[in-house]
Structure 1
């Protein structure tokens, strides 16, 4: 004889089977209704375990989910037939999730139901099957990824980096945040072609290996031209002129930069910061300025991994609180734990952003005068420290 708890465990195991979960949720095959055998009491049970049989029957009388099918059973030891539970029928997915008696499964079913209502049916199978792709993302973020995957066409990037595909209503980090999800969705739509070619090649986007950075002089005459395009791989092997280097996450901030003697800025690095481990940067004053969100702080941590002396600019609690009216929601955080190489104030800021309903302040929305003053103050301090170090060794 199987108790309700015994069969709930079996239903939970079935839920965790990707094939069963997908076919039952999508109504494919003949998977519904689910019929689970309860098992009938034997004559021996009735003689030697009568109280247990009574408890068993009472437990099944209390079940209100699905349909408990009863049967009348005759036993020699009983003067009349006894009504006992024979099987448990689950008729629809909502009953299945409820019958599992598991909060996580109930929440997952509600989430999947919401996704099925908002996402194109072509993606329902992969959403049901590949739960790890969506379980840690907000429903709206997954729905947005489905809309992008449904509307984007091969070659749409036309040579641009993925972060600049704003025509799909996404922010600059959307493709970086959802790369694996988008690849899977595009594979579903284009029969695996996106993974075969790679996302950048499929969309004709600039690849990570060919990431061209914008180098901008902050003192006239430091570069052959006021602005140059340089690959990250070239920055690793060849040094830039000047005494100070400013690294900026987003390229469209160049109009905010002041003139700074002996300084050069590298803009548009995004996650492409591997070049910061270049030997020529070890002794050079370096500052990093990025978005105030968990992703921007993660990039800062990556830079500091290579350059422990890097100083962050305008990535502090005061700047965030002063500009809170310009902040927006961050759909998916980089991680629920702060990155390893943040200092204490940056770590506290990271935790503050995780708690905030508007945990993202894009750097281009900070007032130009504030930006310019912060850069000038950093350059002055760096020059003073550099001068003091040289006097010490004279």
Structure 2
């Protein structure tokens, strides 16, 4: 025997699971588990069950008699041998998603999402299904943020090859911080509108010019420094570094800036710092192809994920100081990794690297352990780097 609170909890779960697909009007929003009108069985007991709890049945009936809410309550007449004629609540019938939203306290969000979905798909019909996964954007964005999204889509679709920097766009309220947090959303929507299926980055999709990507690099060989005006510590756009055509035999790639700054001079060597997941830029440095490339990252899940990504661009990339011995011999320096990488494994890691990654991921040595590269004693580091 379901009471209104139990029905509400059932509808909350149903709304959470189905509200995105319900945004698309018509038969397409009906699934095997949700057909409109939606009937919720209230659980009429058998006569035997009713005889065991007559007061409970009476209270259940009274609750539904006094109920005033959204939906149509269907009653059923039963004639029981021992209890006589009974009129019992049988089903609650809801006509559509708006009724479910009313029961779950989601009316304002649902109405807002529906209005915006109708507006944006009238303008771009191809978004009818694709934008449903962004229900929270439609339901919760402020009017100002929603208008910026709409205006941004409108402008880049009308001007597909502007080759402007983002801050040059004539869109009210647009700023770098706002745009940075929504590039994924905008990329997805633009790709859907244009019908693209292959992966493209935000700037390609929108026909915009990316800001020059600065790379921080130190040249550790005096002879090479002499050839580039004596510069030893550079932060320059990728294209400018690529044009240097350096004659290097070894390239270190490290995550921490201070780690890179600590490197002493080494013949034929440069050290590149703080790329993070942007290691794809390495493939655009032509002089790196003939060098021995060595990656040294943090001993945590993201360090190994970056190493795996880097190997997709530099297949012969070696790792250093990312082994079990280094990790376990520095227990006193461990800190917590706030959020681990989602992948269970990475295909381009060696067996030894994967074993360490798996051990960290599965908390083999402790919960979310992390050894930051800059914490390792330099004499320990140096013995590994010069091998």
**TM-score between the two structures when normalised by the length of structure 1:** 0.53
1:338 Cα deviation from its structure 2 partner? 1.9
Change (3 A) 1:359 1:237: farther
In the alignment, what sits opposite 1:172? none
1:347 Cα deviation from its structure 2 partner? 0.6
In the alignment, what sits opposite 2:46? 53
Unaligned residue ranges in structure 1 (runs of 5+):
21-35, 42-51, 89-95, 97-124, 130-179, 378-394
Size of the aligned set, in residue pairs, is: 265
CA contact (8 A) 1:248 1:267 kept: yes
Is residue 271 of structure 2 the alignment partner of residue 265 of structure 1? yes
Change (3 A) 1:55 1:341: farther
1:194 Cα deviation from its structure 2 partner? 8.4
1:200 Cα deviation from its structure 2 partner? 8.1
CA distance in 1, matches of 2:356, 2:385: 21
Q: Give SS of 1:306's match.
A: coil
Is residue 328 of structure 2 the alignment partner of residue 321 of structure 1? yes
In the alignment, what sits opposite 1:290? 297
1:225 Cα deviation from its structure 2 partner? 1.3
Q: Give SS of 2:370's match.
A: coil
- Any residues of structure 2 matched to 1:98-109 within 5 Å, and which? none
RMSD: 5.0
1:78 Cα deviation from its structure 2 partner? 3.9
1:262 Cα deviation from its structure 2 partner? 1.6
CA contact (8 A) 1:194 1:202 kept: no
Is residue 210 of structure 2 the alignment partner of residue 256 of structure 1? no
Is residue 182 of structure 2 the alignment partner of residue 228 of structure 1? no
In the alignment, what sits opposite 2:33? none
CA contact (8 A) 1:70 1:86 kept: no
Unaligned residue ranges in structure 2 (runs of 5+):
22-38, 66-74, 93-99, 101-108, 114-133, 153-165, 168-173, 181-208
User: 1:205-247 CA deviation, whole Å, 9 max, x = no partner?
Assistant: 9x97522112212222422212111223444454333221111
Change (3 A) 1:273 1:236: farther
CA contact (8 A) 1:258 1:376 kept: no
CA contact (8 A) 1:3 1:56 kept: no
Is residue 341 of structure 2 the alignment partner of residue 334 of structure 1? yes
In the alignment, what sits opposite 1:361? 371
Change (3 A) 1:189 1:293: farther
Q: Give SS of 1:273's match.
A: helix
User: 1:306-341 CA deviation, whole Å, 9 max, x = no partner?
Assistant: 112111111111111122222222222222322221
Q: Give SS of 1:257's match.
A: coil
CA distance in 2, matches of 1:67, 1:339: 56
In the alignment, what sits opposite 2:187? none
